[in-house]
Chains A and B, each alone.
Chain A
Amino acid sequence: MNGRRTERGRIRRRERPAQPPYAQRPLFHRETRTVNLLPFFCAGWLFLVGCYALATSRNLIHAVGALAVCQSSTYVLLLAVGYRSGGTAPVFSDVPPGARPVVDPVVQALTLTDVVVGATVTALLLALVVQIAKRHGTVDPDELRELRG
């Protein structure tokens, strides 16, 4: 049973390019679970450490940088969802579609949008920080007690 399964897996791995797209292997190796889940742990760790720095920040510019770290976790998460082991970049200029396993191009488009929106959010928040510093004279969030003009 066990030997037959490994032999079948070897045959399946050898004739992988002729398989339909739904039979391709998912993210990383299915056999090793920690490697399988490592990108999601990394994304969660980046989000949590960014949230920690955002919560314990003493400077609004530092808080904006911590928010950029939080956004970078979403890039890692999206691309890890769409990654396929052994796949190549989804460019079909030299091969016909379906001849070769490719990674998911939809989450790459989402990640590209996420990168651009993240840069825009950072620019907007830094402009707000500059306006706060101009009006209140400080960028420490604990000194911004009262609501002024």
Chain B
Amino acid sequence: MAELPVLIGLLLATAAGTAAALSREPVHQALVLSVLGLALALLFTLLQAPDVALSQLAVGTVLTPLMVLLSVRKVRRRPREESPADGRGEEG
């Protein structure tokens, strides 16, 4: 049957999306999101949409996990420094 690669790509993207949604740690989730972007790019290529596949390869595989990782680093670098002074500490 001719649509077997499309079905395999669909199931792969669904499994990657489920794993990305059910992973609790944001760093782990960023890595699984890049796998999801790769699976979606493969699926779009099999669905005869090469331009969308290239765009998804750039955005979903590189840009979104990179933004997630950078924001995780930005958030974790200040682990509640101003909290002993009970809120709105330094400049409000």
Contact = CB atoms under 8 A, between A and B. Distances in A.
A115 B67 contact: no
A137 interface: yes
A149 B17 contact: no
Given A28-B3, A88-B48, A123-B67, A130 B74 contact: yes
Interface string B18-44: 101110111001100100100010011
A67 B73 CA distance: 20
State the main secondary structure of chain B at its contact with A.
helix
Interface in A40-70: 42, 45-46, 49-50, 52-53, 58-59, 61-62, 64-66, 68-69
Contact of A53 (B21, B71, B88): B21
Interface residues of A, number: 55
A98 interface: no
Given A75-B56, A115-B59, A69 B10 contact: no
Contacts of A122: 64, 67-68
B2 A85 contact: yes
State the main secondary structure of chain A at its contact with B.
helix
Contacts of A61: 26, 68, 71-72, 75
Contact of A116 (B13, B55, B82, B88): B55
Contacts of A149: 88, 92
Given A61-B71, A68-B33, A122-B64, A79 B44 contact: yes
Given A38-B10, A119-B59, A137-B80, A87 B48 contact: yes
Contacts of B92: 149
A24 interface: no
Interface string A98-136: 000011000010011001101100110010011001100
Given A61-B71, A130-B75, 13 more contacts: A35-B7, A39-B10, A46-B18, A52-B21, A53-B21, A61-B26, A65-B68, A68-B33, A69-B33, A111-B52, A112-B51, A126-B68, A137-B83
11 contacts: A38-B7, A49-B17, A65-B26, A65-B29, A68-B20, A72-B60, A76-B10, A76-B13, A85-B2, A89-B49, A115-B55
